[in-house]
Amino acid sequence: MFSIQKIFMGVLMGCLILIFAATRLLSPSEIVLASPEKNIGLSSKINQTSIERSLSCTISSKYPEKIQQWCNLIVMNADMYSLEPNLIAAVMLQESGGNKDAYSSSGAVGLMQIMPKDGIAEKFMCINGPCFSNRPTMEELFDPDFNIEFGSRMLINLYEKYGNWHDALKAYGPMDVGYQYADIVLSIFENYQ
C-alpha cells in the first residue's frame, strides 16, 4: 500500500510547511512587547488591597460573573493605563471567558491569554531567535494580577503603536485571523455597554 519512503517524505514536507508558516506568521515585526522594562508598573502596586477596595466596579453589569469577579483588577489597570475598563473586560471575555487557569493549544496563558517565554511558546522561533524570549513565564502569567496588568500594558502599547483599536486588537489577537479577532472584541465591547 504505502511505502515507508512515501510516508517519511509526507511527514518531512508537512514539517517544512509548518516551520515556514510559523516563521512567516511570527516574524519579529509582528511581535510587540508589553514593555522593554520587566515588571514596570508592578512596583506601583504597593498597597493594592486598599486601592482595590476604594475602586467601584465600573464595568458593565452585562458581563458574566466570571468576568465581574475580576472587576477590581480590571478597573485598577484601566485607570493605570488610561484604558476603558469595558475594553479590558471584552478582551478577557473573548480570550479566557474569565478563567484564570486558561491555557490555549497555542500556549497562551491566563485571563488575557498572553504568550509566555516558556512552555509550548518556547519552541516558536523567529528570524532572530525565540519569538517570546522577553515575555514573562507561565507561572507569572497564571497570576491574575500580573496577567491583567501585563495584558493591559500590551493593549495600550499596541494602541500607541497603531493609533486605533481595530489595528491594535488585530495585533493583540492570533496572527492568522486578520481583523476577525478585533471585530469580535469590538462587538463584545459595544454589545456589553
Does the residue 2 lie in any domain? no
Does the residue 56 lie in any domain? no
Q: Residue 109's domain is classified under what CATH number?
A: 1.10.530.10
Q: How many domains does the chain have?
A: 1
Does the residue 149 lie in any domain? yes
- Set 84, 95, 160, 190: catalytic member: 95
Looking from the CA of 64 toward its CB, the CA atoms found within 13 Å total: 9
Does the residue 115 lie in any domain? yes
Which residue's entry shows cell 506568521? 25
Q: How far is Cα 51 from Cα 72, in angstroms, rounded to an integer?
A: 9
Element (H, E) at 130: strand 129-130
pTM of the full structure:
0.68
Residue 18 gets which letter from DSSP?
Answer: H
Does the residue 39 lie in any domain? no
Does the residue 27 lie in any domain? no
Q: What is the pLDDT of residues 155-175, one digit of tens each?
A: 999 999 999 999 999 999 987
Does the residue 7 lie in any domain? no
> Active site includes 95?
yes
* Domain encompassing residue 82: 65-192
Does the residue 76 lie in any domain? yes
Tell which residue, 68, 42, 44, 65, has the closest CA to residue 56. Answer: 68
pLDDT for residue 56: 78
Q: How many CB atoms lie within 10 A of CB 24?
A: 11
Full pLDDT tens readout for the chain, 193 residues = 556 666 656 665 655 555 544 444 444 434 444 444 444 444 444 345 444 444 579 999 999 999 999 999 999 999 999 999 999 999 999 999 999 999 988 888 999 998 875 555 556 555 665 555 567 787 889 999 999 999 999 999 999 999 999 999 999 998 778 899 999 999 999 999 8
pLDDT for residue 176: 76
